Structure 1
Amino acid sequence: MLSWEAPTSVNIDKCECGRGPAHYRCTEYSHHRGWFHWIEEWSGKCFVQRDLADLEFVILLGHQGRPCPEADPLKPETVSVVVAHVNGIHRCSLRYCQCPRAPDRVIQLIHARLWPTTLKSCQTAHLWLNAKISTLHFMRTLKRLTNNAFPSQTKDLYQQFRIVSRLFSHLTAMKRAGRFHELVIPNRDPLDLTVPCLSCPSPGFNLPDNWHLVAEYLSYLFRVAFGMDGNYWLNKKAKKNEDPETAVSARETPSSSTTTRLLVLFRRRMTAMKTKWYTHTCSGFKVARAQRAGKFRGLQYSGVSAISCRHSFFWRNMVINLISGEK
């Protein structure tokens, strides 16, 4: 993924002129790498949508669209893969680079900006984009774009896409946090993957050495101001036979952080309150009184609440699941 931002020593694209490395590149697939264009074939009665693989087109990796010189020209190894693209789901033919020093197949796919759904047998890949819709609706849209008349005939990649999207988000957070470059910021846990706020006061980083000697009436300049807000639409239903999920990022033990210990105590308190229903007497807080007691029946979490600084940056260990609405 870092090679997308800057070429590495083993992945420097050579210029077509052969005089040195290329200083310009095109990231659009509209030239010799138009891998995912739909082709319409006249059947004698109507046009039928075809993939480029149906016309014997093969995606060649590792040599800027040219055949690998180390591959057997008589029996080249061709792999069939399914790619979820923004214009539908494609069945493609793929050939990997066979050079002795070539990276493994997973890395070759990532260099081509194709994200594999498994590390063992790469037969499904996804391109990445951002959309403010659910994963289910997004994959249903891709199936409709592939075959709007008979979407059930298109392979369902919903489960694979869920795994890929979460893993991609985690690795993107690691890249942005400087984990690969061992970036160290004062007063920040090295395992922290949140985007740091460089504007909030931080001793030894953006404050003068004598900041603690300032007059008391100016001490507010060195305070970190927090705000709290919640999203009560992020509900999660309780499931009887749900498989335990594994966190992809490192998690602290309850004894290693004061903040984490407070969160554990808060969760215990919320669990004890789950079976009770309190009537609020405050006249200015009418939201909780207007909600039905059975509104949250069958929900494991009724929302998410988070704390952020005044510059709208979320802080580590300051996001928690809600159990009974806004309480």
Structure 2
Amino acid sequence: YIQLLRRSLYPATLAQGKIKTVATFRYLEQHGLEIMPWRYTGLMHMCLQWRHPKLLKCTKEGDLVVPCLSCPHPGINLPDGWENDVEHHDNYSVKVTEDTNFRLKEQLVSSHSRDPGLVEGLGYFVGRSDYEKYVISRASEADAIAKATTKFSKGLRYTGVGSMLCARSEIFLANRVGNLQEGEHYANMDYVFGSALHHYRGLPLCIVGYDIVCQWFAHIHERSKDLWPNKIKLDNGMDLVPVIGKFHEPAHETNNHEQYSCNLIPRVGCTDFEACKRIWGLHNPLGNSTKTMGPGTRSDSLEAHFGYHNWQKYTNM
């Protein structure tokens, strides 16, 4: 192995104690341009293994991501003593938007034990075990946002994903993507939201956009206190401001709904909080290929694409 790696050759799995297939580092860097059908399985194994060690530079939750430059990060892009700068607290706010995508579904292929994810909880997806345990604990609640989607869940392990993005720069954030078991439920979106704010503890303000924030946000503090795991409970020192995206707010046609309008809420500026729709439009084509993958391969593939999207944003700003 060491001799091959020194010569920029990555080996596939052993067959009867012998290495029969290798790929050059250059090929693995450019994976996706061409795959030889007669070596498909071996090459896919190598590509999945290749991505993982390149990411493993840190081991904390959410460390294996390309971070957002627009979001405030104490010790990185905030001035010293910002905590005491009460007059300019608005400058240290977080603007996020969340939504679901039902194109990125997954069929009942393989299992988590046979095909585990290599980046579980360290990248853009939330940690699977704690997340699914929490969702199951609230499975009996009648809090579905879109029950109509459940009739399409036959033969699927996941009906899609829910995510939270930076509303400023439209970048995927650490531990802000969660699989949807049966449609879009409060339990799923609560965990994704709490996991997101866990990385911003200590900041004074978060403006959160969601299509149905007028329903979902109504009792969020009670749910956080009574139902959420301790590690994702809301920070009492952070003010939360709910908004509805500019495209969706007029469709609600509800009286006294101006409190959720981006045009009237202070500190929103020109942000439209529709970033998720644009981002999902770019990633919808992935659904055709990832839905037939095993659970680990699918999550790692989506992690790679989300990271590439962030890197493109980073380098093209």
Higher RCO, 1 or 2 (CA under 8 Å, sep at least 6)?
Answer: 2
Q: Would the TM-score normalized by the shorter structure come out above 0.5? A: no
Q: Greater share of helix residues, 1 or 2?
A: 2
Q: Identify the TM-score tier after normalising by the shorter chain.
A: 0.3 to 0.5
Larger Rg: 1 or 2? 1
**Normalising by the residue count of structure 1, what TM-score does the alignment of the two structures yield?**
0.43
TM-score by length of 2: 0.44
